[in-house]
Each structure stands twice: as structure tokens, then as C-alpha cells.
A and B are shown apart, each in its own frame.
Chain A
Amino acid sequence: MNAIIDYFKELFKGIKTLLTGMKVTGYYFVHPKEIITQQYPENRKKLKMFDRFKGEVTMPHDENNQHKCTACSICEINCPNGSIEVISKQVEKADGKMKKELDTYIYKLSMCTFCGLCIKVCPQDAIVFSQGFEHAVFNKEKLIKTLNQPGSSLKEKVKE
């Protein structure tokens, strides 16, 4: 007899605990406004990432197509994965002196781990993180990017 009573006790205890859980799910069923799902591909136009979001490394250019990179390759030395390659060239200046200038700044997005060391160590603040996060492409070669735009040159420092 006791066994039967225990059986029913267990049964009702089980149903009670299940109903306790159902209470929580039921609450959200009738309060759909408290659910915070983001409809991702639909909200692409409105979606704004945080300013510091580490999307990918970019080199900002101003309106004269000038950047700040002096090709010192500190970023290349500090990169733990070898995803940055700075190729420099010697250019003869107007006063006849030879000066090192940036030729190509190669950034391999496929190798980057977004640790942010390159941007932290850059003495000129020539590279920054952009907020783009949609990196999917059809082949791997597209992930090797040249950051300096064609025909760009070094922005001369304005002496204060």
C-alpha cells in the first residue's frame, strides 16, 4: 500500500516541478515583447557595431589619397601570425635625398587573429580596425588584401 502512495506522491511531485518550469516558458509565451532575438540578415541596414569592434585592419586615407604609414614595419614584427607584410621602396625626394616609402601593405585576413597588437604599437596611428564583420568570400585569394590604395602617398606631417 505504501508503495502505491509513494508512487502517486512521486508522480504529483514530478508534475508539480514540470508545471513550475512551464510557468516560466508560459510567461514568455504571452509576453513576446520581452524576447530579444535579433533578426540578423533582415536588420543589416540598421545594424551598427560598436566603435571598438575588431572587424578587420584598414588603412584610412584622406581626401587627397594620402595615408600616414611610414613603412617602419613595427606592425609586421609585432604580428604573431605573420598576417602583415610591409613592402617598402626607396624614393628620391626633391632635395636629392633617398627616403623609404610604403610600396604595398599586404594584409592577410585569413591569418589574422584580431589580437589588436599591430594597431596598439603603430606609432603613426596609420592603421585602424574597421567595423565590417562579413568576411565570407568564395576563394581564399580574396582574403589577401592590399591596404594602401593605388597612387596613394604619405601624408606630410604638419609641424606645430
Chain B
Amino acid sequence: MEDLIIDNNTIQEEEYIINMGPQHPSTHGVLRFKVSLKGETVLNVQPHCGYIHRGIEKMCERLTYPQIIHLTDRMDYLSAHINNEAVCLLVENALQIEVPERVKYVRTILSELTRLASHQLWWCAFGMDLGALTTYFYGLRDREPILDIFEETTGARLLQSYNTPGGLMNDIHPNFIKRVKDYIVYFRKKLPEYDELLTGNVILQERTNDIGFLTLEDAISYGVTGPSGRASGFACDVRKHHPYSAYDKVDFKEILYTKGDTFHRYKARVEEMWESLKIIEQLIDNIPDGDFTVKMKPIIRLPEGEYYQRVEAARGEFGVYILSRGEKYPYRAKFRSPNFSNLSAINLLSAGHKIADLVAISGSLDLVIPDIDR
């Protein structure tokens, strides 16, 4: 009987440990946060990942280079085209193949469309995490025409596998240029609605301002890249600092903020949508004529050595490392996924805040779980 007597004084002192996830509406995937609480205040967050680990890096060791590409789709599925591009650029650089200008332009346009679609989905899901269900429908409404553009040209809406080493699978569809131009006009009208609906909203302002600070030093030491890092002032845009494809031909602004709280991570992404529109506008009228692919050998063998290629995916820097021994398979493949590094900062960001803020913070990092687990 004595065990049942609860001593109120000791209970308040104790840590209370709960699991957020593995299936939780705000984690958008199978991720488990082990949260220690004191009352409602978060003391410590331990992410437990690995629920959808597929061993993609190991699988790559038995696949040829063109076959690897379809696996990179399945890591960060919202920036599938950009991930494809990373592997293709690596193979092309290793073999010192110069792809036609047309390929570079089309790849850049499709990458920016991917980034737009990804940020739109993030925007609507972020609103939903914070209880604004309406945003979900508005974001998906604007994402649908982008997916139609993808479907018409690449044949798939999400996991395109459109890049191949040396070029593209097909030439762009005849309707592609017209559709993209129409979309830019359409989305320039709709993007201010995003600010009206959510950015100025008092509930979002109260729940994101001054929450989850990430300093510049921490952003660099934890490797938080992408819009999340740039909101802390970490100038890490690969497109700007190490241009690839046609990014050296376009003029765009790297969105940088210095405050580094949840609201500025939100703001950085919304502003990036404007920049993406600008990049597409500059390129879409000047797609040069030419081949859509260069002739490659049927079996691609990389020369012996180590190769690394990085690109700017929608959530940060995506890197591919391949160690080749001159065979048609890579000896070792390693992917540097942005979400894994971004996730590592979650304890730092959320310690000391309330548990409801953890939802806002993890939402603002824009985690895609298959990219964490690979």
C-alpha cells in the first residue's frame, strides 16, 4: 500500500520522458523524438532514427552508375531531381564530359521547379503543424501545376529519374516552355496570398518569433545548411558559391538573415520561392538548341580515385562521395544528406522551450525522414 502513496514533492522534481513519434503528425515520417520534460518545458530531445533505413549506400555498391540514380530519388523525395543531378554531375566530372548547354539549362530550370514544389509543400505542412489546416490546400493547389509540368516532361510527378549521366532521358516536351511561363505568371499572383494567409498571422507570429535560436557558430559546427542555416547568417548556398549547371549565368540573391529563430527560417524559405521564380524567368526564354544528351559508353567505368560532388538541394547541401576502383560499380558510396545534419541541431534548438514549440521547431527545419535514414 505504501507504494501507492504519491509524493507530490518528488514528482515535480523528476524528469518526465515521453516519446514523440514514431508516428506523429508533425514529424511527416517515421521519426521518434525521446523528449525529457520538466512540466511542460523540454530539457532534452534525443532523436531516434533508422525506422526506414534501407541501406541505400550499401545497395549502391552492387549497382552501376546509371542505376544508382533512381535510388537517390528515394532519399529526399521532395528534391528528387536535384539529387539525381548530383550523381550525374559527379559521373560527368569524373569522366570529364562536357554536357550540352541545353542540358544545363533544362536541369537548372527543373531544379528550381523542384525547389519551389518542395518549399510549397513545406509551407503548407508547416502551417498544418501549427494548426492552420487551410494553408495545406493553398500550398497543394499551387504545387499541382508544377507536378503536371514534371509529369508531362519527365513522366513522373515525384520521383522523376530524368537525369542520366551525360544528359537527360528525353528532350523537353514541346509544351514545357509555355507551361513554365504560364506558371510563373500564375504563381507571382498567388505567392502574396501566402504572406496574407500565414506570415502576418498573429498565431504564427506568437509561436515562431524568438523561438529556437540557432547562432552562426552553432549552424557552422552542426553543419546546418540550406534555408535553416542561412536564416542564422551562414552563407552556404552552393548555387552561389560553387556554381554548377547554369547557375553561374543567372542573377539571384542569397537569402541571408542573422536572427536565426524559427520565424526567420520560415521567412528564408518564403523568400527563396521568389528567388527561384527569378532564376526560372531568366533561363526559360534562352534555352539553347542542341542535343539533350551526349553519347555515353554502354558500361560506365569511373577512373580509379575519389570523387565528391555537392549540389544545393531544397533543404541544404547534398553531397555524393564515391570511391571508385575502376569497376563499373562504386567501391564505396556515401551521401551527405542535409536533413541528417539539420536534425542534429534539434536538441540545441528546443532545449528550454515548451513542448508545443518543439513541433514548430522541427517543422521549421523541414525534415524529410527518408533522407535522414537513407
Contacts and interface: CB of A to CB of B under 8 A. Distances in A.
B53 interface: no
B210 interface: no
A50 B152 contact: yes
B137 to A, nearest CB: 9
B200 A20 contact: yes
B3 to A, nearest CB: 48
B70 A115 contact: yes
B156 A13 contact: no
A114 B164 CA distance: 14
A132 interface: no
B67 A117 contact: yes
Interface string A10-46: 0001100110110111000000000110000000000
A153 interface: no
Interface string A113-132: 11111001100000001000
5 contacts: A14-B202, A17-B205, A50-B148, A114-B155, A117-B67
A21 B197 contact: yes
A78 B197 contact: no
Given A13-B202, A18-B202, A116-B161, A36 B144 contact: yes
B196 interface: yes
Given A23-B196, A36-B141, A80-B71, 18 more contacts: A14-B202, A17-B200, A18-B201, A20-B201, A21-B197, A21-B201, A35-B141, A49-B151, A50-B155, A52-B154, A52-B173, A78-B66, A80-B63, A113-B74, A115-B67, A115-B70, A117-B67, A120-B169
Contact of B151 (A50, A115, A129): A50
B164 A120 contact: yes
B209 interface: no
Contacts of B202: 13-14, 17-18
Contacts of B304: none
Contacts of B205: 17
Interface in A78-128: 78, 80, 113-117, 120-121
Contacts of A117: 66-67, 70
A50 B144 CA distance: 14
A13 B69 CA distance: 50
Interface residues of A, number: 26
B197 A24 contact: yes
* Range class of the B interface residue count: 20 to 34
B225 interface: no
User: Which of B138, B170, B197 is most buried by chain A, counting CB atoms within 10 A of its CB?
Assistant: B197
Contact of A54 (B69, B152, B156, B164): B156
Contacts of B67: 78, 80, 115, 117
Contact of B153 (A18, A25, A49, A52): A52
> A-B pairs with the 4 shortest C-beta distances?
A115-B70, A14-B202, A80-B67, A52-B155
A114 B156 contact: yes
A17 B196 CA distance: 8
A121 B69 CA distance: 15
A49 B155 CA distance: 10
Contacts of A23: 196
B155 A129 contact: yes
A116 B148 CA distance: 18
B196 A115 contact: no
Interface in B141-161: 141, 144, 148, 151-156, 159, 161
A115 B161 CA distance: 6
B70 A24 contact: no
Given A17-B202, A52-B154, A24 B196 contact: yes
B15 interface: no
A116 B152 contact: no
B143 to A, nearest CB: 12
Contacts of B155: 50, 52-54, 114, 116, 129
Interface string B186-227: 000000010011101110010000000000000000000000
B267 to A, nearest CB: 16
Given A80-B71, A115-B69, A120-B164, A52 B200 contact: no
Interface in B32-69: 63-64, 66-67, 69
A55 to B, nearest CB: 9
B282 interface: no
B344 interface: no
B134 A25 contact: yes
A54 B159 CA distance: 11
A58 to B, nearest CB: 14
A56 to B, nearest CB: 12
Interface string B148-184: 1001111110010100100001100100000000000
B187 to A, nearest CB: 14
A70 to B, nearest CB: 16
Contacts of B156: 53-54, 114
